[in-house]
Amino acid sequence: MKIGILTGGGDCPGLNAVIRAIVKKGDKYGFDILGIRSGWQGMIQGKIEPITINSVHGILPRGGTIIGTSRTNPFKKEEYVQKTFDNYKRFGIDAIIAIGGEDTLGVANKLNKMGLNIVGIPKTIDNDLACTDYTFGFDTAVTIATEAIDRLHTTAESHDRIMVLEVMGRHTGWIATIAGLAGGADCILIPEKPFNIDDICMLIKRRHEKGKSFSIVVVAEGVKPEEGTGFVVQDEKVDAFGHIRLGGISHTIAKEIEKKTGYETRVTILGHIQRGGTPTPFDRVLATRFGVAAVDLVKNGDFGKMVSLQGNKIVTVNLEEAVSALKTVDLSLFEIAEVFFG
Ligand code: F6P
């Protein structure tokens, strides 16, 4: 049995842990594992090479992915889909394990319906995939963002400043909500709840009138203002899946806060620091459990499925269902964060 594995979309801590788990579990069954280079791009271009037990030595704690990643979408051109099928056959692949978020697994689902044997593993720092309580990568990103909030607190307090911290989260505010809760943010803005700049400024002013000299505002990069307030995203470049490159809305927000409250305001954009480096123990273990479970799905011929974490159990869900809707922030959880606003 030959299993091809690929990592697609933005990288995240834990990808190497999952690759290692697949290779080691596959070895127990006598399967050959092929690394497909740079996500779906490797299937289109035939960049596919064996991964041996030796090549996964020491990679468990390493960030990134040893097989590379990209945001290539084979459905951009008909010939790409044909090439994907040709290479599947040419390299003698019996099944693919696709490790990715909504885009990569959306492609996996379509190709599976067209006849390829595919199993999915959910990863993304954004934690926005449906049908799984957590994706790996998220816990590491939250840990990094929480540390950033802690560090911003001390400097904000020393200088009597407002600190605006922008974290990732294109469609959902999971990192902002959980890191904001953990770090004691005074206000959190998420894409699920369009913001009103006047309300935020009022909240900050009230906090300062009560004697506080600083505030921490956590902003998810994908936040949207309420209709008609004239805020814009900075960059209009789009990727192969049509997503606008985000990052920078916090500058506009910070300028408005400074103007409307009169308090000195600074911005920190955490950016790709949230995605780099070593995974937390939680992410290493989750990625490992997912990898082992995915190999079992392949062994059982259970294709068109995704492994997922529900409660503390690894279960199997339909890929179709997992990619059909995003998992947005649980608003009852956000209400808990709101208790500490202002
Ligand atoms: O999809 C994960 C993610 O980290 C998003 O939160 C973010 O918008 C995006 O990737 C940025 O990715 P890149 O700069 O690598 O295209």
Q: Could you tell me the two tokens for 231?
A: 């805020």
pLDDT band at 95 (very low <50, low <70, confident <90, very high): very high
- The string of pLDDT tens digits covering residues 147-168 is 999 999 999 999 999 999 999 9
pTM: 0.95
Q: In the CATH scheme, what is the code of domain 2-136+279-322?
A: 3.40.50.450
To test ligand 1's pocket by mutation, which of 72, 126, 172 has the most ligand atoms within 8 angstroms of CB?
126
Cα 160 to averaged position of ligand 1 atoms, centre (Å): 32
pLDDT band at 240 (very low <50, low <70, confident <90, very high): confident
Which member of 32, 94, 103, 126 is catalytic?
Answer: 126
Clarify whether 126 is annotated catalytic.
yes
Q: Answer yes or no: is pLDDT of 234 > 60.
A: no
**């990863």: which residue's tokens?**
123
Helices (H), the chain: 15-28, 40-45, 78-90, 102-113, 138-159, 174-183, 197-209, 249-261, 281-299, 319-322, 331-338
Q: Could you tell me the two tokens for 299?
A: 């062994």
Ligand 1 contact, 220 CB (< 6 A): no
User: 2-136+279-322 with 140-275: one CATH topology?
Assistant: yes
* CATH class name, domain 140-275: alpha beta
161 phi/psi in degrees, rounded to 5: -120, 165
Domain ranges (residues) in the chain: 2-136+279-322, 140-275
Report the sign of the C-alpha dihedral through residues 78, 79, 82, 87, in that order. negative
Atom number of ligand 1 nearest to Cα 9: 1
Cα 143 to averaged position of ligand 1 atoms, centre (Å): 17
Cα 168 to averaged position of ligand 1 atoms, centre (Å): 7
